[in-house]
Amino acid sequence: MKQLISLMILPFLMISTTFAKDAAYPRQKIDLSGELLPNSPKSISFKDLKELQKPVTLKIFDPYNKNLETAFEGFYLIDLVKKYGKPDFKILRVGAIDGYKVDIPKNEIDSQKLFASYKDEKGFLTVDRMGPLRILAPVKGVVNKDLLLKIGVYWVWQVKTIEFVK
């Protein structure tokens, strides 16, 4: 009888473990639009972001979080651009959940080494933690006010939309 019960429970445990594994990713998605490559999706998930490239971890003094040194996990924004955008786009228009938008010229994406993070040492960047995606301009050391005025415009959090503009 114990063996029969075990055999009945085993498939349930296997299925629930599979769902739990997928449930570990937050459900928020980022909408893509504009000059996309033909096979690009219209939205990407945390799982897509994590599988975009082998994750990179950068330690950055976060000027929007009391200059605490934080280990961010993610990828360079240039990798997202290459995977989803047509080569002739000129501007990456990034929109946040609250309606904030910034236009990032294509040449700034690589020259500033802009980094897209979906996770830090506390876990995935959910909306209440400035996620689902956060764009950072990695610099060494604490970001002072003058430097923040120069690069701060590219620091976007709670990214909801990414548009490739011609």
Which residue segments constitute the domains of the chain, with CATH numbers given? 25-165 (3.90.420.10)
Q: How far is CA 80 from CA 65, 83, 118, in A?
A: 25, 5, 13
Residue type, 58: L
Q: Give the pair of three-digit tokens for residue 11.
A: 């498939």
Q: Which residue has the higher pLDDT, 144 or 121?
A: 121
91 φ, ψ (degrees, to nearest 5) = -135, 140
Which run of H or of E encompasses 15?
Answer: helix 2-23
For the ranges 13-27, 71-85, 127-141, 143-157, the lowest mean pLDDT is seen at: 13-27
Nearest residue to 56 (alpha-carbon basis) of 117, 108, 114: 117
For the ranges 64-68, 71-75, 133-137, 144-148, the lowest mean pLDDT is seen at: 144-148
Predicted model pTM: 0.79
Residue 110, pLDDT score = 84
For the ranges 63-67, 96-100, 118-122, the lowest mean pLDDT is seen at: 63-67
| Confidence label for 149 from pLDDT (cuts 50, 70 and 90) | low
How would you classify the pairing of strands 115-120 and 134-136?
antiparallel
Q: Is the pLDDT of residue 165 over 70?
A: yes
Q: Kindly state the percentage of the chain with pLDDT values over 90.
A: 46
List pLDDT tens digits, range 120-131.
Answer: 989 888 888 887
Q: Give the pair of three-digit tokens for residue 122.
A: 């506390």
Report how far residue 7's alpha carbon sits from residue 143's, in angstroms, rounded to the nearest whole number: 59
